[in-house]
Amino acid sequence: MTTIHEQTFTVGKYLVSPLTRDTEAGAFTAAVSIRSGSGRAMHDRVFRFTPLFPTRESARHYAAREGASWVLGRA
């Protein structure tokens, strides 16, 4: 299994990093890292999602959408 760090983007003060991983069955899983702050005050939340996706692109889109949604819900 290989984890791929996808294109990172900024939403307000948060850095959103979608992650995808291929499974042994040929499907893909999604996760997202949401980071804020810097240095010793940095916080990083990682959310792993349970759905399996047929393509890496669909997993990436899901992770990016969920990450942005989480950030916007905190505003």
- According to DSSP H, which parts of 1-75 are helical? 56-73
pTM: 0.87
Greatest distance between any 2 Cα atoms in the chain? 39
Side-chain-facing half-sphere of 22: CA atoms under 13 Å: 9
pLDDT digits (tens, 9 = 90+) for 22-59: 999 999 999 999 999 888 999 999 999 999 999 999 99
